[in-house]
Amino acid sequence: MVYIESDSTSPYFNFALEQYLMKEKDLEDNEIFMLWRTNPTVMVGRYQNTIEEINEKYVKENGVNVVRRVSGGGTIYTDMNGWQYSFINKNYKVSSIDFKAFTLPIIEALEKQDVNAYFNSRNDLLIGGRKFSGNAQYIKGDRILHHGSILFNTDIKAMVESITVADEKIISKGIKSVRERVTNVAEHLNKNIDCIGFRDIMLESLLQGRKNIYKLNEYDIRRINEIAKEKFESWEWNYGNSPKFNITKWGRFLGGKVEFRLDVEKGIIKNCKIYGDFFGIGEINMISKALCGCKYEKKSIENILKEIEVERHFYKISRDQILDCIITN
């Protein structure tokens, strides 16, 4: 495994770096690891509606970055007192989502610090029933990107204000509620260390003495900045067009929330947009396009879904559940 050394705290640069390493950069080792942090940032899942996930007034007034991931899952907040980790495998033999394989090294590194962390049934890491890490994956061919967050000493108040409606009563209740459900790793360490000290401890465990470190050169940095500007900094990627729809159907399942917004004219689906915090492999737009032109009736939609590997696009959500989500009698 090769460790990529980068001091950038820009979320746009670091997401562009992930893409560059996964798609363009050839290294001697096909297994790549990154540990990075950003300025205050709201990271939105690939299939989410950004406008509905963020407190736009707060993030603009407080200079909070907004960026969309290439992976599914829900919205997270991170800052300079939190860490993001990325595993990239460019010769991945498994064609399905598997969070446990990539979160185990994080759990083991924390165990060495006497922190009892564990994986839940979906995509989170917990300590004492409280979440400190969310994880997501993106698979393309035989290449996988797994990235996750670690709340080390993140500002919970800023987290709540960035992703909820700016009402003081709601925020007050939200902070209390979030504090009951999430935790910072710093609260569970038996010694007082800062964010950089925590990084060094984690790297010592994760790299296991390996000295295979790659430092970005001038060409790398120039190309990564190009990707960041073209994609991850763009309004089209982070917000995109959000057309109006006349039918909204949604459901919450083991694999997450899925929401279908449909324009239906004279019984025919004319437009379809899919939102949610679910995970999946492949392009979700394929399902949207397949449904356009279809009659808005159960049998017709069922026939369309039979031709699609639904379970690959919606992790831990069945074809029948998706059908019931789109249309119920």
DSSP letter assigned to residue 113: T
Helix (H) or strand (E) holding 290, with range, is helix 285-291
Are 198 and 288 part of one and the same domain? Answer: no
Radius of gyration for the chain, computed over Cα atoms and rounded to the nearest angstrom = 20
Are 135 and 281 part of one and the same domain? Answer: no
Give the C-alpha separation, 49 to 61, whole Å: 21
Are 278 and 226 part of one and the same domain? Answer: no
Picking from 215, 238, 261, the residue at the C-terminal end of a domain is: 238
CATH of the domain at 49: 3.30.930.10
SS3 126: strand
Give the C-alpha separation, 22 to 11, whole Å: 17
Picking from 219, 238, 257, the residue at the C-terminal end of a domain is: 238
Count of CB atoms situated within 10 Å of the CB of 35: 19
- Write down the pLDDT at residue 166: 53
Are 219 and 255 part of one and the same domain? Answer: no
User: For residues 173, 175, 177 and 181, what is the CA-based torsion angle, rounded to 10 degrees?
Assistant: 180
Q: For residue 293, how far is the Cα from the chain centroid?
A: 31
Are 107 and 209 part of one and the same domain? Answer: yes
CATH of the domain at 263: 3.30.390.50
Picking from 190, 221, 238, the residue at the C-terminal end of a domain is: 238
Are 214 and 275 part of one and the same domain? Answer: no
Give the C-alpha separation, 310 to 149, whole Å: 28
- Write down the pLDDT at residue 168: 58
Q: What is the domain range of residue 117?
A: 2-238
Are 233 and 265 part of one and the same domain? Answer: no
Are 305 and 273 part of one and the same domain? Answer: yes
Are 126 and 27 part of one and the same domain? Answer: yes
- Six-digit token string for 237: 């990627």
Q: 144 pairs with which residues across the strands? A: 89, 139
Residues listed for the chain: 329
Are 150 and 8 part of one and the same domain? Answer: yes
- Write down the pLDDT at residue 158: 94
Burial of 57 (0-12, 13-18, 19+ CB in 10 A): exposed
- Write down the pLDDT at residue 26: 92
Structurally, the chain folds into a number of domains equal to 2
The per-residue pLDDT string of the chain (329 residues; one tens digit each, 9 = 90 and over) reads 899 988 999 999 999 999 999 999 999 899 999 999 999 999 999 999 888 889 988 999 999 999 999 999 999 999 999 999 999 999 988 777 888 889 999 999 999 999 999 998 778 999 999 999 999 999 988 899 999 999 999 999 999 999 875 555 555 556 677 778 899 999 999 989 999 999 999 999 998 877 789 999 999 999 999 999 999 999 999 987 656 678 899 999 999 999 999 999 888 999 999 999 999 887 899 999 999 999 998 999 999 999 998 988 999 999 999 999 998 74
Q: What's the predicted TM-score (pTM) here?
A: 0.84
Are 277 and 205 part of one and the same domain? Answer: no
- Write down the pLDDT at residue 181: 86
